[in-house]
Structure 1
Amino acid sequence: MIVNLPGTTTSKVSKKIMAMREEGGVVTLGRVLTLVVLTRVGFEEENIEAANLASREHPCRIIVLSEGSSAEATRLDAQIRVGGDAGASEVIILRGYGELATQSESLVSALLLPDAPIVAWWPHGVPDKASTTSIGRIAHRRITDSANEPDPRAALEHISATYAGGDTDLAWTRLTHWRIQLAAVLDQVDPEPVTAVTVEGAADSPSTFLLAAWLYCALGAPIRVVDDPAGTGIRRVVLERDGGNVELVRPGTVEAFLTQPGQPEQRISLPRRTLQDCLAEELRRLDPDEVFGEVITDGLARLLEHEGAAGV
């Protein structure tokens, strides 16, 4: 069911949801959080689809704030989606114009689920400082996506400089399976030090750079980042050791091959992760991701210093 409410107020939207609940049996029981999506005109449906799919694991109320034009007369247009049009969630789309064009807490405060955690997600447009924005100040977790920025590496460095506990970035979430595989390998091989590391991935992939920062932070070995063509994601990691190298290579987008001393080559399922998979993973935890915090600040700073010293 989809209900359009042009020229409305958040109070009227809230009352309409209550009326729909009473008339049609639409309920919010079992909603575990409120997901506030701060997006741009033209990207709403893509983000709503990902949030709806993620909501199958985390039933929630989804509030989408879409930037309208500040040059138009002040008004608020809204749309409510429930039932089959909203997955396991309720979706409320708000688009403000004029004085209401700025995305702020005042637009969502009347629509937040009571006593439920709040997660803010910026799928496009990393804010100046997520934790100090109007929505970021009330959110338990703040999710950005540096991969969607014009200069992903610069966006990553900006996130590093403005990091606060509770921040995360989907470029980090896309690394989960790579980190699991590499950590498992290091647990299995002889406790011999890694003498050098090579990370090869797409030049436009902030995940490549974050993986290098994680490995540099964890191993402290000299590291080299090799750029691949844009759009290819992470391709290869080589851990050099005196007793034999460990190499994890993903030539395509689904399967990877692991080579390590004294063992035959292994074929591993390592598909590129979908947006909804990454979002669902981030919604599983509401506490600060301490590993990400260490990597995005200390690990990234050390990697940049290492690159500068090496003349990269």
Structure 2
Amino acid sequence: MSYSESVQPLFHPFTLGNLTLSNRIVMAPMTRNLSPNGVPGSDVAAYYRRRAENNVGLIVTEGTVVNHADASNQEDVPFFYGKESLDSWANVVSEVHKAGGKIIPQIWHMGARGNVNDYSESEVVEIVNAFAQAASEAKRIGFDGIEIHGAHGYLIDQFFWEKTNERTDRYGGSLVARTRFAEEIVKACRDAVGPDFTIVLRISQWKGIDYSAKLAKTPDELKQFLKPLVDAGVDIFHCSTRRFWEPEFEGSELNLAGWVKQITGKPTITVGSIGLDGDFMALFTEGKGATNAGIEGLVQKFENDEFDLVAIGRALLVDPEWATKIREGRLDDLVPFTPEALKTLY
């Protein structure tokens, strides 16, 4: 069997409710800080369209911040509020749809204060409402769903993690209680968009300040953690790991996406250094590049029904034709991930 034949399972269609994708390849959300004053320009629309034209089944946009004063502390991150920003996002959606692609925004609150214990309950409610407003706007301007960013040590994840959440009210305490903030966000978004609009939740065990962190240390704890989120209305879990091939718990080869799918029965997206020969964090923290790696192990896990979709980050960031080249077996044409290539961000 040729390489191009072996990867064909990743190019089978996927349908969930009203969402139908041409294949299983997802563009992972990647912050680029290229939206001056929070407004994504025509260059952003062209950037996403190029991936849609090249066999990316679903695009998840870079993180877009909700309408709350403390949502961001970075310049040129796109907003998901205000007429100018939303009109520009509508143009992005139009360009992607013209190319035959599907696209969802990642809606995000960075938790810029870095301390969830400082938020009053009334302010928590304001943030929940800001997410719901963003979800409503996403549906209005034609997106195909939303992704809520609940990973990597940002605000929602700060509520999840016992080391950052020391609250003594209803948003703190037990593992289940620490999910309440996210649960309320998902419920509010579901109420805003109705039953047929896809809601993805991105989760991770690791944090930007602790790569070995575990929200759930056992499968049973993971089950406790996930149940309120499923009940709230999550359709797909986007399970972020540093290395997709690593087992999540001892005694099983399942990665995080595999465990989440087994526990919930919900579709999952796997992500983590796919298509690269190195750990993606080292590519940045140590200034390393990476050559392209085969994805045969990924395909085997996919065919074992461990997950439904695969998200590609850095490999697709530097090479908009990555999915097309993989599908056609043009491995020699793949663009390596290097600091020089990264500067293009095209």
TM-score by length of 2: 0.30
Greater share of residues in strand: 1
Larger radius of gyration: 1
